[in-house]
């Protein structure tokens, strides 16, 4: 096939056909010797996705392969971590004198999708990429609606338009995903990923905590 990925996909499709004939039938396939090759070719010809099976929603727990037919949620790797979660310890961790506020990066909107920025023409007349901040916080920082503000984190800083609104909680600012990208040689908005530190990440999966980034905010100096 000239591709390790395609070879693995071909194998997985054949395994699925052999182990899930009922799911295939519910999806409309006539299961036979050539079904796996049919589905494999259909996947290659349909980049948008292919339905290859439909589970039995009335009897879905029958698929459990544990000896006692129960779902086990205990993870030994996380046991000590979970036991650390105590109210006093959690509250202490919330205090960060250098970065007293929290940036929630990744507010999804209909004009963006992660790092796939839509044509900026779609946003004409809209306040597409702003930093939402609670009125009480904005008042303390001397920031008015529509003014430029600077958000600083361990990873970097960015200047963005402030949107004073009660839709953001006290002590929290929100910047949407999908901006800070170049379109026709011009940068639109702020790339929230550049404010995310890899050090501030999930202990088990090592995924950066985009929704909880310690930060500080100040009014931008006029030039």
The 10s digit of each residue's pLDDT in 148-164 is: 999 999 999 999 999 99
Is residue 223 pLDDT above 90, yes or no? no
State mean pLDDT over 79-91: 87
Determine the pLDDT at residue 115: 55
The DSSP line for the chain is ---HHHHHHHHHHHHHHHH-HHHHHHTT---STTHHHHHHHHHHH-TT--------GGGGGGG--STTS------HHHHHHHHT--HHHHHHHT--SSS-EEEEEEE--TTEETTEEPPGGGGTTS--SEEEE-HHHHHHHT--TT-EEEEE-SS-EEEEEEEE-TTSPTTEEEEESS-SEEETTEEES--GGGG--TTSB-TTT--B-TT-EEEEEEEPPP-
State mean pLDDT over 46-54: 90
Percent of the chain surpassing pLDDT 90: 51
- Read off the pTM: 0.65
The 10s digit of each residue's pLDDT in 5-40 is: 999 999 999 999 999 999 999 999 989 999 999 999
106-110, 116-120, 133-137: which has the highest mean pLDDT? 133-137
Determine the pLDDT at residue 60: 83
State mean pLDDT over 101-118: 71
């Amino acid at each position: 096939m000239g591709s390790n990925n395609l070879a693995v996909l071909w194998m997985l499709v054949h395994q699925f056909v052999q182990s899930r004939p009922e799911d295939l039938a519910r999806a409309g396939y006539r299961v036979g010797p050539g079904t796996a090759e049919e589905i494999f070719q259909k996947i290659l010809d349909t980049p948008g996705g292919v339905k290859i099976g439909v589970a039995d929603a009335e009897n879905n727990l029958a698929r459990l392969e544990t000896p006692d037919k129960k779902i086990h949620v205990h993870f030994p790797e996380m046991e000590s971590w979970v036991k650390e979660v105590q109210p006093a310890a959690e509250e202490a961790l919330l205090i960060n004198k250098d970065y007293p506020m929290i940036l929630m990066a990744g507010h999804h909107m209909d004009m963006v999708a992660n790092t796939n920025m839509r044509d900026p023409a779609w946003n004409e007349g809209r306040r597409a990429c702003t930093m939402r901040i609670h009125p009480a916080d904005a008042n303390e920082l001397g920031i008015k609606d529509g003014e430029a503000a600077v958000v600083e984190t361990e990873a970097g800083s960015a200047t963005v338009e402030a949107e004073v609104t009660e839709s953001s909680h006290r002590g929290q600012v929100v910047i949407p995903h999908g901006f800070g990208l170049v379109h026709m040689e011009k940068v639109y908005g702020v790339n929230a990923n550049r404010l995310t530190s890899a050090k501030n990440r999930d202990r088990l999966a090592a995924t950066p905590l985009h929704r909880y980034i310690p930060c500080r905010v100040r009014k931008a100096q006029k030039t």
